[in-house]
Amino acid sequence: AQKVTQAQTEISVVEKEDVTLDCVYETRDTTYYLFWYKQPPSGELVFLIRRNSFDEQNEISGRYSWNFQKSTSSFNFTITASQVVDSAVYFCALSEAGVGNYGGATNKLIFGTGTLLAVQP
């Protein structure tokens, strides 16, 4: 069964510390996609990154980096030199080609339960 686990419910760091948010997933598909979304206190969901199952290269975008390891079914997210503006709930999500009643994909994102990151000044 498909599942995304974010074991860290809450993390608190002091500004400028590095922090890693863990994400472990389960799927039987060989083709799947992994996503990270940010939910700031204002409540909207902001897309951060998408990674497909065939691309295990790490990705860096400014202070953000992602480490995808199929061997451990993990897709971890690291923020370097954290800032107060990074305070948010971060969700990891999985998308796979599950088949709906009409034969097409369900277009479903399977979300983890989220990690609340609090960055203290």
Partner 1 sequence: EAQVTQNPRYLITVTGKKLTVTCSQNMNHEYMSWYRQDPGLGLRQIYYSMNVEVTDKGDVPEGYKVSRKEKRNFPLILESPSPNQTSLYFCASSMGQVSYEQYFGPGTRLTVT
Binds partner 1 by CB under 8 A, chosen from 11, 13, 24, 109: 109
Mask: binding to partner 1, 61-100, rule CB under 8 A, as x and -?
Answer: ------------------------------x-x-xxx--x
> CA-based angle 91:118:10, to the nearest 5?
55
Task: Rule CB under 8 A: say whether 60 interacts with partner 1.
Answer: no
Task: Rule CB under 8 A: say whether 10 interacts with partner 1.
Answer: no
Q: Residue numbers of the site for partner 1 (CB under 8 A)?
A: 4, 31, 33, 35, 37, 43-45, 47, 50, 52, 91, 93, 95-97, 100-102, 104-109, 111-114
